[in-house]
Structure 1
Amino acid sequence: MTVRYLAIAGIATRVGVSPNTIKKYADDGRLPEPDAITGDGPKSVRGWLPETIDAWNASRPGRGRKAVNDQ
């Protein structure tokens, strides 16, 4: 079975914010540790399991909008 991970754009869609916002969260260390990393160096890609992002989104302070799954 293939495991599907969310990248920056997928997280943004899931939580209802822009990809730029999620990139800033990642750069600032406000996202949880990734569940997977592929590649090496600056071209590496981080991935998060949907349940990791759902738990983070449910507990993050200042949620201004509802998550896509909550609608």
Structure 2
Amino acid sequence: MLIVAMTVAVLDAVRSIPWFPSRGQGGDVPDGDSLLDTEAVAAKIGVTSETVRIYLKRTRRRIAEGKAVRPQDLPLPDGQFGRSPAWLESTIDVWVAARPGRGRRPASS
């Protein structure tokens, strides 16, 4: 609980400084949207922050190899603070909605 409270406090503090987008968006976070760091994305989707880093690394590797980004691939960050990636919450919400389910699927008969 303390970590969540600290994360919220940090995100609130971050929202008060200029946002430096990395993918060509405008300068400010859209109204009603918030920025999520790696830990916040992990909490939102129920994995560890290390898993989010692995997902991002896989996406970047696919792009570097000239392969198409798949629905299960984590979107590239919407912005960055120093070297830390940041996603708009709406970006993660869209990805989660379009992401295929987890785990092995039963064989169809």
Q: TM-score, normalised by structure 2?
A: 0.48
Q: Which stretches of structure 1, 4 residues or longer, exceed 3 Å deviation after superposition?
A: none
What does residue range 12-51 of structure 1 map to in structure 2 within 5 Å?
12-29=42-59, 30-39=73-82, 44-51=83-90
Structure 2 Cα separation of the partners of residues 20 and 38 of structure 1: 18
Percent identity, aligned pairs only?
41
The answer for unaligned runs of 5 or more in structure 1 is 65-71
**How many residues matched?**
59
Corresponding residue SS for 2:47: coil
Q: 1:6 aligns with which of 1, 14, 36?
A: 36
Q: CA deviation at 1:62?
A: 2.9
SS at structure 1 position matched to 2:36: coil
- How far did 1:49 drift? 0.6
Which of 93, 99, 105 is matched with 1:54 structurally? 93
SS at match of 1:28: helix
Deviations 1:9-52 (A, max 9, x none): 1001011112222111011012112111222xxxx111001110
Structure 1 CA distance, aligned partners of 2:93 and 2:99?
10
**Structure with the larger RCO, 1 or 2 (CA within 8 Å, 6+ apart):** 1
How large is the Cα RMSD of the aligned pairs?
Answer: 1.6
Q: Which has the larger radius of gyration?
A: 2
